[in-house]
């Protein structure tokens, strides 16, 4: 099939590359000319494992352009994958979606299946449908489908090829689009969840809100564990073996971040409030997450009476491993909070970069450079290379002995046998 993918962010590029691998002719469109130039020169503007290789492999079926004109005419399917960031009040900014609709309205002269992958509040796809009608597009020339993504940054390619579900939201009376989606995804073996447009939008929000809830839950439990000298990892393992709970997203630490959870939970809260529903649980989830950094800063204050002459190495800047994304990153927030204590901070991350770091924060090009002569090493993102450090070498490079595990990802025994002092939160 001939498919247009509008947007070249994480979702857009992953979708375009996977659809090309499935055999479709894919045109990826973005208004950002710099991004398009990079892609046409063989460079991928984001770090996502396996993405560049997949794009290179399918170069003959992939086109990158900043112009919609010719490609929209030829395409039978249009995927909308543009950003939906938060507004200042926490509601969703739909200006990028609206801009796409304005562009499409003037270019729909043959039948199109318009598929929204962008995360949007309930009611948005119905709004898109009505907006196109208002702009004079015949209802005979298009259908709107809500097909949210459930991709994890760092494993997006795998997640799309091995999806646990494909959610398809359809308008009442739409008997064509499901067949189109099934044809597009031929080769991906996953159960279909067929629902309304609002239902698909709500599934996406509920999914992210529930996962964020699990993270905030185990973080709150870690605070209680700390008071009773209980290892929260034991608790997570114990409850995670219960099939009703499951082990995923039960790793205590600095909290959740990234491009999805923070904005989606806040957006769902605002959506509920707009209908006069008080979302107590969603608000509590956010409160725990927003205060989690403070727990770790206060823990550090119990270890050092004066930070003025300290050198602290912080390993991790990205919000999670296997990505260069720093949006709402707990690691970056931790660094900025820590910098207010006037210590010298040496930060390192394999992929992510600090933007406009405070005066006392320096980003180093290697782990060795970051930890040399450090009084304390903080693990702020759980990259595998941090979990597999040679702790004897670390001991020899450091001036101090404290390893502060802010991701609960290290084995205490491996660290302590080399004369280092392991510190965590809720680790007994």
Judge whether 319 and 337 are in contact, CB under 8 Å: no
Sheet holding 421-423, edge to edge: 361-363, 344-348, 311-315, 376-379, 402-405, 421-423
Q: Which position among 260, 343, 376, 409 bears the catalytic label?
A: 260
Phi-psi region of 229 (alpha: psi -120 to 50; beta: other; left: phi over 0): left
Tally of CB atoms within 10 A around 135: 13
Distant-in-sequence, close-in-space partners of 202: CB < 8 Å, separation ≥ 6: 122
Question: Would the CA dihedral through 154, 157, 158, 162 be positive or negative?
Answer: positive
- 409 annotated active-site: no
CA-nearest of 287, 119, 290 to 207 is 119
How much of the chain is in helix, strand and coil states, percent to nearest 5? 45, 15, 40
Interatomic CA distance for residues 415 and 389, integer angstroms:
10
Interatomic CA distance for residues 424 and 428, integer angstroms:
8
DSSP string, 129-183: HHHHHHTT--GGGEEEEE----PPTTSHHHHHHT-S-EEEEE-TT--SHHHHHHH
Distant-in-sequence, close-in-space partners of 8: CB < 8 Å, separation ≥ 6: 16, 28, 29, 30, 32, 35, 36, 39, 45, 64
Interatomic CA distance for residues 81 and 115, integer angstroms:
9
Interatomic CA distance for residues 212 and 258, integer angstroms:
11
Burial of residue 216 (CB within 10 Å: 0-12, 13-18, 19+) is buried
Interatomic CA distance for residues 218 and 97, integer angstroms:
35
State the pairing for strand pair 376-379/361-363: unpaired
Interatomic CA distance for residues 155 and 162, integer angstroms:
10
Active site residues: 260
């Amino acid at each position: 099939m001939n498919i247009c993918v509008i947007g070249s962010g994480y979702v857009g590029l992953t979708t375009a590359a996977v659809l090309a691998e499935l055999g479709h002719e894919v045109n990826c469109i973005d208004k950002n000319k710099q991004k398009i130039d990079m892609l046409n020169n063989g460079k991928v503007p984001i770090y996502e494992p396996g993405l560049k290789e997949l794009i290179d492999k399918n170069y003959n079926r992939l086109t990158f352009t900043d112009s919609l004109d010719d490609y929209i005419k030829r395409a039978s399917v249009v995927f909308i994958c543009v950003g939906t960031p938060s507004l200042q009040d926490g509601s969703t900014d739909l200006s990028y979606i609206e801009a796409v609709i304005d562009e499409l309205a003037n270019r729909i002269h043959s039948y199109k299946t318009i598929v929204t992958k962008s995360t949007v509040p309930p009611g948005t796809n119905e709004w898109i449908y009505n907006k196109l009608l208002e702009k004079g597009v015949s209802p005979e020339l298009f259908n709107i489908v809500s097909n949210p993504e459930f991709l994890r940054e760092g494993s997006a390619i795998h997640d799309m090829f091995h999806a646990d579900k494909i959610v398809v939201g359809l308008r009442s009376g739409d008997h064509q689009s499901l067949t189109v989606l099934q044809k597009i995804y031929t080769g991906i073996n996953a159960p279909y969840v067929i629902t309304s447009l609002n239902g698909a939008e709500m599934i996406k929000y509920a999914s992210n809100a529930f996962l964020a809830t699990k993270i905030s839950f185990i973080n709150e439990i870690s605070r209680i564990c700390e008071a009773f000298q209980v290892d929260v990892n034991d608790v997570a393992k114990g409850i995670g073996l219960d099939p009703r709970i499951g082990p995923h997203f039960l790793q205590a630490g600095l909290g959740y971040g990234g491009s999805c959870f923070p904005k989606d939970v806040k957006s769902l809260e605002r959506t509920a409030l707009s209908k006069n529903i008080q979302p107590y649980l969603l608000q509590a989830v956010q409160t725990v997450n927003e205060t989690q950094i403070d727990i770790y800063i206060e823990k550090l204050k119990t270890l050092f009476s004066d930070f003025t002459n300290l050198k602290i190495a912080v390993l991790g800047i990205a919000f999670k491993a296997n990505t260069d994304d720093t949006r709402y990153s707990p690691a970056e927030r931790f660094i900025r909070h820590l910098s207010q204590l006037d210590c010298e901070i040496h930060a390192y991350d394999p992929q992510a970069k600090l933007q406009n770091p405070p005066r006392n924060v320096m980003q180093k090009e290697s782990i060795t450079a970051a930890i040399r002569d450090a009084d304390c090493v903080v693990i702020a993102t759980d990259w595998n290379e941090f979990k597999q450090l040679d702790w004897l070498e670390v001991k020899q490079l450091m001036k101090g002995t404290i390893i502060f595990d802010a991701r609960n990802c290290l084995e205490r025994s491996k660290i302590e046998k080399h004369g280092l002092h392991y510190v965590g939160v809720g680790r007994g």
